[in-house]
Copies of this chain bind each other. A is one copy, B any other.
């Protein structure tokens, strides 16, 4: 008997070992990881893990139904009449620009009951990715044998500008060359562009952002973070062929779902030297910068309710960044994460070393990057603080000075951002009629100058030139009070007058920018010459090393271009227990009352007045393992039938380290449930017409 038992125990451990090996295999090879380009979707993973094979038609439909918000965010078409869904927090900048002291759309929300009532946004551009072309060979061929790294970099930049210009001229489409895999590939992306975008619906911010900065980047959540716009062409609602249909039931637990959106940036392919630079130099600096900027804005907001309204969106953005970056920084301080990343790098480098050809071609790249970073370290502060921080007017001034100067050069020699193919976009923002608040500008500029002074010291040439021995407050007051750049017509006149008009201008901000632009360019040139050229070559080597070892089985770091993520709807271990895969309206009322409606946990009146009309078991938010990051805000969550089941609006706190590494166990994308959007629109906002359009039960004629 004893022997039998021992055998059984052995068998048990045997099975366990097999299971562990299998689990490791599963984990190592098919976690729900990746932000995949549409030219290289994770077909193998989807087939093996979920038995689902997306057709080319499915992929094209999803891509063409997806929308990019140029000011940062994602969205999707949800009706044939140009209706676009995104997050309230993606829309909030436009909401503020459409608001006045008398009519604050951020705090009250907005609903257009007819096309006529829809509000035209001052400077919102939406993009649809209509074509993708691999231009890697052409870009790389621009750098000829014998060129220095800097020359090679410039040649490539010129070639990219040329490709973009040719494409724009040929197709009339927004044409951007995207660098993927840190230089491993270059793709020309062509976008259909919508610049007549009108606001259709937004809830009040308190419903969208219930829980405020505290609950931001956490889960369980209870947010109605949704807004609707409509794109127009020729002053009529655009007719859209590819749009997502709606599924009000949403996705069940463990169901396969997809996210199609524009993740901003990740650093998953960074070398350890780059990661440690981030940890030891970048994050401490950027977090200090953000904390100070928040303090400046909060001080300004204290002056009164109108000042508070003006500052709100900037504070919101900065606090969002503060929480995200703090979480990322915390991840970098975690030794396990550093060790895991180190192990991945060691594995790649060992494999490269094992093949003499690879070693000869790529082996020195890591050391090169490490040396470049050593060189850059001490230059970080001037690089960051030798500029005018925080003032929109100052930024407009600099852009006008550069615009008029750059357009006189051949296209290939211009600063990036001023190539022919980019000028239309540049003008769109330079001539935006969005309001500019001079009080806010003054506070921001004074605070920014004080930061530069503190970080660089009073003897720094940039600081000397800007302050001339005066205090930041004095300088900011003078510059902002006297400038006329808040007037769109004045900006237009300068642009049209070109370099001559700018050089004659006595506007104090223009005068200042004319003087300091050479210093800014010097900083930039130093970086290009000493760091960027060499870094680009080294990064390309590492990208090639990866392709050599792993093939194209990986996805590139995020680049604010369209990506497809996949995963399952699933809770996760949290704080000693489990977070559920979804929340319900019961939970919204619970969280409000748990805090006695204090802090950011109060509910707008309509939630109390209409509580009895609501089905409190309606799912509110849900989580999935989909791999996302900032920029994905507003992305649709769709099921296998490409129906909308939710709307991405956040990641949980455990996902913040996702900038560096994805962990399927706890990394979750947080979305608004499709059922809540319908329930809220109907019962809280009396927006039945909008619901009918979304659900496809209304034709255009009825609208």
- Residues of chain A touching chain B, judged by Cβ–Cβ distance below 8 Å, are 1-2, 5, 211, 214-215, 217-218, 220, 253, 323, 327, 450, 470-471, 473-474, 571, 574-578, 580-587, 589-591, 593-596, 599, 601, 616-617, 652-653
Pairwise interchain contact A595-B575, C-beta atoms closer than 8 A: no
Are A593 and B576 in contact (CB-based, < 8 A)?
no
Chain B residue with minimal CB distance to A595? B580
Residues of B within 8 A of A571 (CB): 595
Contacts of A220 in B (CB 8 A): 594
Q: Is the CB of B471 within 8 A of A575?
A: no
Indicate which residue in B5, B217, B450, B578 contacts A576 across the interface (CB closer than 8 Å). Answer: B217
Number of copies: 2
A327 to chain B, nearest CB (A): 7
Known contacts A5-B471, A586-B589, A589-B616; decide if A211 and B594 are in contact (CB<8 Å).
no
Contact A584 B590 (CB under 8 A): yes
11 contacts between A and B (CB under 8 A): A2-B471, A5-B473, A214-B577, A220-B594, A323-B576, A575-B653, A577-B653, A583-B590, A584-B590, A586-B589, A590-B590
- Asked whether B580 lies within 8 Å of A594 as measured between CB atoms, the reply is yes
Q: Do B218 and A577 have beta carbons less than 8 Å apart?
A: yes
Nearest 3 pairs of A and B residues by beta carbon:
A576-B653, A587-B590, A580-B594
The residues of B that contact A583 with a CB separation of less than 8 Å are 590, 594
- Kindly report which residue of chain B lies nearest to residue A213, judged by CB atoms: B577
Q: Is the interface of A mostly helix, strand, loop or mixed?
A: mixed
A430 to chain B, nearest CB (A): 33
Which residue of A1, A5, A590, A617 has the most chain B CB atoms within 10 A of its CB atom? A590
Residue A218 contacts which of B575, B591, B594, B653 (CB distance < 8 angstroms)? B575
Q: Do B577 and A584 touch (CB < 8 A)?
A: no
Q: Is the beta-carbon distance between A214 and B653 smaller than 8 angstroms?
A: no
User: Chain B residues near A596 (CB, 8 Å)?
Assistant: 253
Interfacial chain B residues near A617, Cβ < 8 Å: 589, 593
CB neighbours (8 Å) of A214 from chain B are 577-578
**Bound Cα distance A443, B548 (Å):** 58
In whole angstroms, what is the CA distance A575 to B652 when docked? 9
Q: Are A473 and B576 in contact (CB under 8 A)?
A: no
B590 touches A594 (CB 8 A): no
A217 CA to B575 CA, complexed, in Å: 10
Interface centre among A218, A578, A599, A601 (most CB of B within 10 A): A578
For A591, what are the chain B residues with a Cβ–Cβ distance below 8 Å?
A: 580, 587
**In the bound complex, CA of A587 to CA of B590 (Å):** 5
Q: How far is the CA of A95 from the CA of B590 in the complex (A)?
A: 32
CB-CB under 8 A from A578, the residues of chain B are 214, 599
Is the beta-carbon distance between A1 and B471 smaller than 8 angstroms?
A: yes
Which residue on chain B has the smallest CB distance to residue A587?
B590
CB < 8 Å neighbour of A594 from B582, B589, B593: B582
- Chain B neighbourhood of A577, CB < 8 A: 211, 214-215, 218, 653
Give Cα A583–Cα B585 distance, bound, in whole angstroms. 15
**Which of chain B's residues have a CB closer than 8 A to the CB of A584?**
589-590, 593-594
Contacts of A1 in B (CB 8 A): 470-471, 473-474
Interface centre among A5, A217, A450 (most CB of B within 10 A): A5
A280 to B599, CA, bound (A): 44
Instruction: Tell me which residues across on chain B come within 8 A of A590, comparing CB atoms.
Output: 583-587, 590
The residue on B at minimum CB distance from A601 is: B580
In the assembled complex, which residues on chain B have CB atoms less than 8 Å from the CB atom of A576?
217-218, 323, 327, 652-653
**Contact residues in B for A2 (Cβ distance below 8 Å):** 471
A582 to B, closest residue via Cβ: B594
CA distance A653 to B574 in the complex (A): 11
Task: Give the complex CA separation of A463 and B679 in angstroms.
Answer: 67
Alpha-carbon separation in the docked complex, A1 to B476 (Å): 13
Q: Which residues of B contact A471 (CB under 8 A)?
A: 1-2, 5
Beyond A1-B474, A584-B594, A586-B590, 8 additional contacts (C-beta under 8 Å) are A211-B577, A327-B576, A576-B653, A578-B599, A585-B590, A586-B586, A586-B587, A590-B590
CA distance A211 to B579 in the complex (A): 12
Q: Contacts A211-B577, A215-B577, A576-B217 given: A450-B594 contact, CB under 8 Å?
A: no
The residues of B that contact A581 with a CB separation of less than 8 Å are 594-595
Chain B residues within 8 Å of A589, by CB: 584, 586, 616-617
Nearest CB in chain B: distance from A3 CB, A:
9
Q: How far is the CA of A589 from the CA of B594 in the complex (A)?
A: 14
With a CB–CB cut-off of 8 A, which chain B residues contact A473?
Answer: 1, 5
| A576, B211: Cα distance in complex, Å | 12
Of all chain B residues, which has the CB nearest A221? B577
Pick from A471, A594, A595 the residue with the most CB of B within 10 Å: A594
Q: Compute how far the CA of A195 lies from the CA of B570 in the bound complex, rounded to whole angstroms.
A: 50
A523 to B: closest C-beta gap in Å: 25
Q: Which residue of B lies closest to A1 (CB)?
A: B471
> In the complex, how many angstroms separate the beta carbon of A571 from the nearest chain B beta carbon?
8
A594 neighbours in B (Cβ, 8 Å): 220, 580-584, 587
Question: How long is the Cα–Cα vector from A571 to B596 in the complex, in angstroms?
Answer: 12
User: What is the bound-complex CA distance between A471 and B473, given in angstroms?
Assistant: 87
Q: Which residues of B contact A218 (CB under 8 A)?
A: 575-577
User: Cα distance A586–B590 when bound, in Å?
Assistant: 5
Closest to A212 in B: B577
CB A472 to nearest CB in B, in angstroms, measures: 8
CA of A118 to CA of B601 in the docked complex: distance in angstroms? 45
Give the shortest distance, in Å, between A646 (CB) and chain B (any CB).
15
CB proximity of A439 to chain B, nearest CB, Å: 19
Using Cβ atoms and an 8 Å threshold, which residues of chain B touch A575? 218, 574-575, 653
* Residues of chain B with a CB closer than 8 A to A323's CB: 576
Q: Which residues of B contact A587 (CB under 8 A)?
A: 586-587, 590-591, 594
State in angstroms the CA–CA spacing of A580 and B323 once bound together. 20
* A458 to B, closest residue via Cβ: B2
Chain B residues contacting A616 (CB-CB under 8 Å) are 586, 589
Closest to A585 in B: B590
- A450 and B580: CB pair below 8 A? no
Measured CA separation A593–B220 after assembly (Å): 13
Q: How far is the CA of A323 from the CA of B575 in the complex (A)?
A: 12
- Say how far A469's CB is from chain B's closest CB, in angstroms: 9
Alpha-carbon gap, A211 to B580, bound state (A): 12
Q: How far is the CA of A215 from the CA of B218 in the complex (A)?
A: 19
CA distance A575 to B654 in the complex (A): 9
CB-based nearest B residue for A323: B576
* Nearest B residue (CB) for A574: B575
